[in-house]
Structure formats: C-alpha cells, structure tokens
Amino acid sequence: MKTLTLAAALLAAAPALAQTPYLVKDILPGADGSRPTELVAVGNRVYFSARSSAAFGAAFELWASDGTDAGTYRVKAMPPKSILRRLTAFGEKVCFAAYTEAEGEEPWCSDGTESGTALVADLAEGSASSTPHAFRVFRGKLYFFARDASGNDKLWSTDGAQAGTTTIVGSYPFTPSSGPNLVATESALFFSASSEVSDRLWVSDGTAAGTVRLDTSPLHQRSEGVYRWGERVVFTAVGDQGDREPWVSDGTVAGTRLLRDIHPGGASQARSFFPLGERMLFTANDGQHGLELWQTDGTEQGTQLVRDINPGVGDGQPWAQAALNGYAYFPANDGVTGVELWRSNGTSAGTELVADIDQATTIGSLPRMLTPAGPYLYFTVSDVLLQRSLLFRTDGSAEGTAAVGRPSFQADVAGQPFALLGTTLFVVATTPDQGTELWALPNAFTVASEADVSVSALAVRSVGARSVELTTPAGSVRVEAFDLLGRRVATLHDGDASGTLRLALPTSLGVGAYLVRATAVTGETASALVRAR
C-alpha cells in the first residue's frame, strides 16, 4: 500500500534544481493578489491581464513586464468591471478582446504604451458585444470571428487600426452559437461553422471570393476543433454512418477525405491532434484498445496505433501538448502509475513513461502546462492531498526530472499559461504572503555562445544579424530554423549542397533568437544560435 504523501514521494523521486523563481512585482499586496492571466510574450515584454485593486468590480487591465519590478507597469487604466481576454501576439503589438460597460466586448490592440492602447472598432455598436474570438495572424493581418451590429457572426480582419478593420464581405450563414475555430496555414485559413446545412469545413484566402465551404465534407464536430498539419488540416468528422473518425483536408474538395475508419461500425472518437515532424499524433479508440496513441502519415495504411499505453480496453487517454528534441510529450495513464508524464517519437518502442513522479497515490501527478524552453520541458504537477501544484523540469529522462526551486518555491501554479521571454520563464503562482502574482524563473535554460556547434565536416555558424554560413560535404542536407520553444519556424535549405552556403532567416521572422540546425543525409547534425535584430 502506498502511504507516503506526495510531498515525501517528490523528495524521494528527484532532487530539486538550484533554480529559484522570484516574484516579479507584488502588484496588489495582500493574500489575494492581482490574479494575472493570459500571459503572452511580444517583443521584449510579457503582457498579461491583472487587477491593481481588490475593490468589488475592479477592472482587469493590461500590464507589461520585462522581468523586473521597475519594468513591470500598467499599460492603460480601464473603467471598472473591465475584463481582458484572449491576448494574442500580432507583430510588435498585442491584441485582445476587452469588455467595458460602455462598449461591450470588442477587439483592442496595444503597442505597449498608454496612448497606443485603444479600441480597434466597436463592431456591434454601443454596449452590445461583438465577442471577438479565434484570433489568428495570416498574411500580415489579424483575423477573427465577431458579431456585427445585427448579431450575425462574420469573419473579420484588421491591421490593428479602425480604418484597417473590415469584414470579409459576404453573407455567410454562421450562427452565433456555432463557435467556429480558425486555423491559419501559410496559404489558407480553415474553420468550421454551422450553416443551413450543418457544421461544415470552410477555407479562405482572406478574401470574400476566396472564402468557400467544402460542401463534400461531412458534419464537423466543432467541439473537437481543426488542427494545422503543415499546409493541411486534420479534424474529427461524422460520416454517413454517424461514425466520428479522423479526416484531412488540403483546402480542396478532392483533398478532403477520411484518413481511416479506425472503428468500423462504431466511433473512434479521434481527438487531440498534435504534429510531430511529418506525422500527426492523435488519440483514438479502435474498439479493442480504448483511447490510445495513434499516428498518421496521411495515408490509410500509415494511420496506425502507436502503443496501447493502458493495455486492453482501458483508456491511456494520451494528450500530446508539446514537442522537444523529436519527441511529443503528454500526460497519460498506464493503469498502474496513474496520470504521469509520457513521451513518444512515433514508434512503439519510443513511447515511454518519463518519470513516475507521484509514487504516493494511484492518481498520478497530473502533469499540465507543458512548456518547452531550450533543451528542457517545464510543467506543473499536482499534489492532490495538499491541493497545490509544483513547478517541475525535465530533460526527457527520469533522472533529469526534478522540482524547480524547492523548498523555497512551494507555490500553487494557478493554471495559467507560461510565457518564455529570452531565457526567462514567466509563471503565475500563488503564495500565502503575496497571493496570486507574476513570478519569473531566470535562466530557464542557458545558451553558451553564438559559436559554431558542428559534427564532423558539417558546420553551421552565425554570420551577421540574420544569416548563417553552412559548410557541408557533398550530399543532401536540410537546414531548419526553430524558435526557443522548439517549434520549427522555417526551412532554409532542403536538397543537395556542397562547400559553403550562406543562408538568411526569412524577413517574416520577428526579432529574437533562433536555433538553426542542419541535418545531413548521414544523420549528422550541426547547429548555431542566430539572433535576428
């Protein structure tokens, strides 16, 4: 019988790391705190919503921080009862939905200054709310759904100013309750929406003429969402027989099709799609193995069970949330350890438990808020008995999985997304003295230098503000750029190369640090840090 408390089990499981989180600013002194939400990194600041008063009806306002007390400030005062939601990075601006009693909930944007923070447009007019949602950046503009003055949901775009805000003209039969989600690829916008027929998949190039319904697609389950997969999207749909199965679309009628009938005569409940390299991972039930980890390469034959994590008909319920060094990380339940942190490289042998963190109960540590930072993955684990969460870090190994800042940082990480600014990780945490406030973890990872990192004859080095120099023997080589969250953001070269090539980061990539990695056909790799200024 397991009799240890989770705290004792955590102490036995792994030593705490030397890193120490610090309180960025005690915005609202006292046990309640300012309750920051909606963290998002833009440029050299983290923006968030917080309150500076504990009075009834106190406004939640836009704040910004560079990680210092002096550099943490209220961007703009808002009227009482104001609420900010859906903070989204848009170039050097942050845009969001803000509710005020005078204007309802409408789109706003800010450049980080008081004068540069304003209502974009009162789309619903007066105190009625347009309820903007599903913000997505596409071809230099911000697209979103919102209601007009007549209460009709429409697709809109903005450049951040009222004059540059317009509806994608057309009378689309969306219903206000449909809640369409919006996914942007490089070439198209995809979304699902209710119409006079049923929920359908739509595609748009950002113009009225280029916004069409894929009429041959089946009834789409809006609760499952649409997920990007390169230039395609995948989604769960209901076919003629009422079976919920995985579908894929490239934005054409011919390219919108069923991937595989995973549970013939039943419903696989395909969900939680997550891209990993050229494959897409997801959760599905084939009627024999419960909800388990599956993958697809886009073909029927290549849509297969990866591993039966909870053997038999039990549900492993994996939900891939983050990618790091070729692995997808997710919480899952093997029926023995409870819900713990797992990872997979898309193979059965490469799908494994990272660490049994909670050895005290069969519930598991319930990992969440998975956030890559350099070579590490940060996340929270739950102490169910003491009703708190602890901040953890892993390098993908059991021995490299440990609590951060313990015992000095026994805070309740309050379920808000982390934000990474440079090498500093920002979190929302609760402590008895300060209440819920903004905290930061300096040096969440370290970058030794911008010097070459090379293997054998393959080498990459930073040359200038946005360029790298690739030295390679004859053969095929792929050169990719990744942001500091480990997400691939550009392919700089893919094909034959020999000698020395000079490659530049795309101008579409904003200011910041990027890891450029070259992979030769032999499997050799080389990388360098490039700072885009």
Residues lower than pLDDT 70 in the chain:
1-18, 169-180, 195-198, 215-224, 239-242, 384-387, 406-411, 447-457, 474, 484-487, 521-523, 533
> What pLDDT, on a 0 to 100 scale, did the predictor assign at position 450?
37
Domain 459-532: which CATH class? Answer: mainly beta
CA distance 140 to 272: 28
Write out the DSSP string of 207-249. SSTT-EE-TTS-EE-TTT-EEEETTEEEEEEE-TT--EEEEEE
CA 105 vs. chain centroid, Å, equals: 24
Which alpha helices (H) appear in 109-216, and where do they start and end? Answer: none
The backbone torsions φ and ψ at residue 164, rounded to the nearest 5 degrees and listed phi first, read -100, 20
- Three-state DSSP class for residue 516: strand
Residue keyed to tokens 């692995």: 327
- What secondary structure, in 3-state letters, does 281-330 show? EEEEECCCCCEEEEEECCCCCCCEEEECCCCCCCCCCCCCCEEECCEEEE
Contacting residues for 264 by C-beta, under 8 A, at least 6 apart: 243
- Three-state DSSP class for residue 527: strand
- Please name which of 311, 277, 233, 197 lies closest in space to residue 519, comparing C-alpha atoms: 277
- Take residue 396 and report the two structure tokens written for it: 């993908």
> What pLDDT, on a 0 to 100 scale, did the predictor assign at position 172?
60
CA distance 374 to 483: 9
CA distance 499 to 522: 16
> Bridge partners of 492?
none
- Please name which of 189, 104, 179, 211 lies closest in space to residue 143, comparing C-alpha atoms: 189
CA distance 170 to 213: 13
* Sign of the CA dihedral with 34 first, then 112, 94, and 490 last: negative
- Take residue 517 and report the two structure tokens written for it: 């990695």
> What pLDDT, on a 0 to 100 scale, did the predictor assign at position 496?
81
Residue pair 418/428 in contact by the 8 Å Cβ criterion: no
Contacting residues for 166 by C-beta, under 8 A, at least 6 apart: 156, 157, 158
Cβ atoms within 10 Å of 465's Cβ, excluding its own? 12
Q: How many Cα atoms occupy the beta-carbon half-sphere of 386 within 13 Å?
A: 16
The residue length of the chain stands at: 533
> What pLDDT, on a 0 to 100 scale, did the predictor assign at position 197?
56
> What pLDDT, on a 0 to 100 scale, did the predictor assign at position 478?
84
Residue keyed to tokens 């969306």: 174
- DSSP class of residue 10? H
> What pLDDT, on a 0 to 100 scale, did the predictor assign at position 454?
33
For 193, 272, 445, the CA distances from 236, given in Å and listed in that order, are 14, 10, 37
- Model pLDDT for residues 273-331, shown as the tens digit of each residue: 999 988 999 999 999 999 999 999 999 999 999 999 999 989 999 999 999 988 999 99
> What pLDDT, on a 0 to 100 scale, did the predictor assign at position 337?
93
Residue type (1 letter), 177: S
Helix (H) or strand (E) holding 529: strand 525-532
> What pLDDT, on a 0 to 100 scale, did the predictor assign at position 453?
34
Q: Residue ranges of the domains in the chain?
A: 6-441, 459-532
Cβ atoms within 10 Å of 176's Cβ, excluding its own? 12
Burial class (CB in 10 A: 0-12, 13-18, 19+), 428: buried
Distant-in-sequence contacts of 194-199, Cβ < 8 A, 24+ apart: 194/222
- DSSP class of residue 404? B
Residue keyed to tokens 């892993």: 394
Sheet with 189-194, side-by-side order of all strands? 182-184, 189-194, 199-204, 212-213
Query: How far does the chain reach from its first CA to its final CA, in angstroms?
Result: 57
- Take residue 123 and report the two structure tokens written for it: 């789309």
Residue type (1 letter), 165: T
Residue pair 439/429 in contact by the 8 Å Cβ criterion: yes
Write out the DSSP string of 320-359. --EEETTEEEEEEE-SSS-EEEEEESSSSTTEEEEE----
- Take residue 423 and report the two structure tokens written for it: 């090498």
> What pLDDT, on a 0 to 100 scale, did the predictor assign at position 208?
87
Assigned fold of 6-441:
Methylamine Dehydrogenase; Chain H (2.130.10)
Locate the DSSP E strands across 78-129: 83-90, 93-100, 104-110, 117-119
